[in-house]
Amino acid sequence: MGMSAGYYLSRQGVQTLLIDAFNPPHTGGSHHGETRLMRHAYAGNPLYTKLAIRADQLWRQLEETGGQKLLHRTGVLNMGDQGALSLQQKREQAQTHGLRVELLNAEEIRHRWKGIQIPDSVQGIYEPNAGYLLSEACIQSFRTQAVAHGALVVPNTPVKDIQIESDCVKVFTDSGDFCAGKLIVSLGAWFGSVAGFQQLPIRSVRKAVAWFEADEQLYSAERFPGFTFGDAQGGYYGFPSINGSGVKIGRHDAGQTWIPSSPFYPFGHYPEDEADLRRALSTYLPLAAGRIVRSGVCKYEMTPDENFIIDQHPKHRHIFLAGGFSGHGFKFSSVVGEILADWVTKGKAKCDLSPFALKRFTTGATEVPH
């Protein structure tokens, strides 16, 4: 989110400094692993669908200005039990916004995609104009174009402290101190590492993903969509085999709580890293459950209701917060960056962000999105 906001600020001619603990794109946060799903019809708050539509427009613009393809429209198939509220809400949002979707029963799904094995009790919403983003390439494009517009990137520089002074917000690092009139704090899973932000309702979670050898005739990106499905044992998301990469799958729920400065264990440290993913594939995509060809771990930044935090600091209105994206934020990073840039420069957000306000955690949680 920070790199995106930096890009949109620099495009407006704003003097922009981007401080990162690593050297983006990197493996220390939530964006690595090559791909992220891009879909539009959302359950939960209707704002998500509106933002996803705008995000898609901005991704296309970023492709045009950067000369690089970032969004691949393989389609996305969301599967769940018949009558599931989340599927109903996605269909309603698609109808409201004129999005093309298909409601499919289990027989239709099995017929269209021979690699899927599901019981008759399952149905799906297929969105043909959805797909996947090349996440690391997106971050690099934001960075390259931000720098071209005059932004300065300070990599490998962890923030130690943030303090309010009479005429600026001061950011302290081992490489020096920086002052700014306005500050966007988008620390991802690292909010707990900076004093003053450790009490935010954001929990960092270790997540495992893996790429499994698969039948390319069934699961290649030319033939197979991105997907989500869930059962009593967990909720999963995944990607087709891209240029022979194997089918990538991750589990959206579960995972291990992680505290900054504590060990962050590699894939395989916990038996469930592979076991959960292999069980899901063996059950629903059995010919994609071959040997693991690649694996990794990343970090989620979870809020109690799995909705974002996009707000001004409750005490310091020249500090803006963007966090808690809860494992479904990357697709929105283009539009969130645009929103933050406009808010910083114009003093007002371009849309109603009350569903993402920090104060909701003192007045009751909202519905979990899917």
Is residue 228 annotated as a catalytic residue, yes or no? no
Contact 32, 135 (CB under 8 A): yes
168: annotated active-site residue: no
Nearest of 283, 172, 152 to residue 229 by alpha carbon: 283
User: Could you confirm whether 40 is annotated as catalytic?
Assistant: no
Helices (H), the chain: 2-11, 47-66, 85-97, 106-112, 135-148, 216-219, 272-284, 333-346
Answer yes or no: 318 catalytic: no
Of 11, 16, 31, 36, which is the active-site residue?
36
Q: Catalytic: 74?
A: no
Told to judge if 298 belongs to the known catalytic residues of this protein, a careful annotator would answer yes
Paired tokens of 256 = 């291990």
14: exposed, middle or buried (C-beta count within 10 Å: 0-12, 13-18, 19+)? middle
Are 302 and 203 contacting, i.e. CB atoms less than 8 angstroms apart?
yes
Q: Could you say which of 31, 90, 252, 370 is catalytic? A: 252
Cβ neighbours, 10 Å, residue 56: 22
**Would residue 351 show up in a list of annotated catalytic residues for this protein?**
no
Residue of 32, 203, 299, 328 marked catalytic: 32
The one catalytic residue in 313, 331, 360, 370 is 331
Selecting among 39, 90, 251, 298, the annotated active-site residue is 298
Beta strands at 152-154 and 71-72: parallel, antiparallel or unpaired: unpaired
Catalytic residue of the set 203, 248, 251, 360? 248
Distance CA 45, CA 370 (A): 10
CA proximity to 292, closest of 207, 214, 206: 214
Please enumerate, as own/partner, the contacts of 55-61 that have beta carbons within 8 Å and a separation of 24 or more: 55/331, 55/332, 55/333, 55/334, 55/335, 58/334, 58/335, 58/338, 59/133, 59/138, 59/334
Is-cis flag, bond preceding 25, omega within 30?
yes
Tokens of 313: 């600091």
Supply the residues annotated as catalytic: 32, 35-36, 248, 252, 298, 331
